[in-house]
């Protein structure tokens, strides 16, 4: 179930602390707000540093080399 928050005169809201902790939203963090089917969805944007190793084990070295060669061939 959702939480009720108050909108300030400047259009700002405070994200409840339990959601900030759960999703790692800290001061200065960036979020995306989307309008989906009449609802506003707030999604945290992961910091670049958190993306390191995200695809580990997804591709083999040989497959990555093949894909890189294909892209290079398109640019020749």
Residue 47: pLDDT band (50, 70, 90) is confident
According to the 3-state scheme, what is the secondary structure of the chain?
Answer: CCCCCCCCCCCCCCCCHHHHHHHCCCCCCCEEEEEECCEEEEEECCCHHHHCCCCCCCCCHHHHHHHHHHHHHHCC
Domain around 40: 17-74
29 domain-assigned:
yes
Say how many domains are in the chain.
Answer: 1
Q: Is the pTM here over 0.75, yes or no? A: no
**Tens digits of residue pLDDT in 10-31:** 999 999 999 999 998 999 999 9
In this prediction, residue 31 carries a pLDDT of 95
Q: What's residue 35's pLDDT? A: 96
Q: Does residue 54 carry a pLDDT above 80? A: no
In a domain, 41, yes or no: yes
């Amino acid at each position: 179930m959702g939480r009720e928050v108050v909108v300030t005169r400047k259009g700002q809201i405070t994200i409840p602390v339990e959601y900030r902790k759960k999703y790692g939203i800290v001061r200065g963090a960036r979020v995306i707000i989307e309008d989906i089917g009449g609802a506003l969805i707030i999604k945290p944007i992961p910091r670049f540093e958190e993306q390191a190793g995200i695809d580990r084990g997804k591709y083999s070295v040989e497959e990555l080399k093949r894909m890189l060669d294909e892209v290079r061939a398109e640019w020749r």
